[in-house]
Amino acid sequence: MFSKTNIGQRIKDLRVAKKLTQEAFCQFLDITRSGLSQIESGQIGPSLELLNKIVDEFNVSFDWIIAGINVQADVQANVQALTLNEPQAQYGLKVFDPIIITVDTKGNELIPFVNIKSRAGYLLGYSQPEYIATLPHYSLPGLQYGRFCAFQIDGFSMFKEDISEGLRPDDWIICQSVDNITDVKDNRVYTIVSHDEGIITKRVLNRFKNTEDPKLICMSDNKNGNYEHIILKPEQIQQVWEFKLHLNRYLPNPGDLYDKITQIQGDYIMMNEHLRYLQAEFDQIKSQLNK
């Protein structure tokens, strides 16, 4: 049932389960103790910002906080291991590590969400069903089948500052697993899991067809931050995920683009005025020379 009382009780149950005092819980969430007391007692409801913090900080789902739906219980009972297809032998590539998929009670695939704080754990437990089941899982329309995973963006390497576009820190991207390294397309964005480089999201050039020196060249979209290219060899790659969907809380201001267009229009008009002035000066000089 959706009520402030039930939501507050579940938040209190979570705090108690984590063996945290109200003071310690408030420090995690950056709220006052009186505010937390009012929420736990059902006097007021939590803000969306606070719910986001709880989900990110304690790896619980919105479904559980809001409605008491224990998605994780369904996931725990329905974890399946899936081994990807073996890449073509002529390129001398190893088989990717297995992808673990999770399904709900109806057999629909759920999408695990790997936030920034979970990255270190994912590097160690990505092939372990028990670990994958501990991650928050959600379903999204149109993405019920196809082996998807969500990763949270860390840093500005994929943000184009000059035009204010791209992937910002804390944005989420939904990616689909790549079965065969030869399917990686040039200049597309991929998230790559590597024990050497961690979890990275980059624009990729595929040079695996070079049998003498197969590799992926991983590049940043941000050209103003001095981000170096990352070169990955076959033995350094555990998983490859192709970018499919971008989730963010930032809505670009159309005024920014409008201002830039207006400035260009103004510069164009001023340039034309200057050219007309120069043409008039030139015609006058030419007329005087012909006298």
Would you state the pLDDT for residue 280? 85
Q: Residue 281's pLDDT is what?
A: 84
CATH architecture of 4-67: Orthogonal Bundle (1.10)
Per-block mean pLDDT, blocks of 10 residues, the chain (291 long): 78 84 88 92 88 82 71 49 40 57 77 91 85 86 84 91 79 90 91 93 89 89 86 91 90 66 80 86 82 67
pLDDT reported for residue 243: 96
pLDDT of residue 91: 41
| Superfamily grouping for domain 74-247 | Umud Fragment, subunit A (2.10.109.10)
Task: Look at residue 291 in the predicted model and tell me its pLDDT.
Answer: 67
DSSP the chain: ---HHHHHHHHHHHHHHTT--HHHHHHHHT--HHHHHHHHTTSSPPPHHHHHHHHHHHT--HHHHHH---HHHHHHHTEEEEPPPPPPGGGTPPPPPPEEEEE-TTS-EEEEEE-GGGHHHHHHHTT-HHHHTTS-EE--TT-SSS-EEEEE--SSTTEETTTTEEPPTT-EEEEEE-S-GGGPPTTEEEEEEETTTEEEEEEEEE-TT-TTS--EEEE-S-TTTTPPPEEE-GGG-SEEEEEEEEE-S----HHHHHHHHHHHHHHHHHHHHHHHHHHHHHHHHHHHHH-
The domains of the chain are located at 4-67, 74-247, 256-282
On the CB side of 9, CA atoms within 13 Å amount to 8
CB 7 within 8 A of CB 46: yes
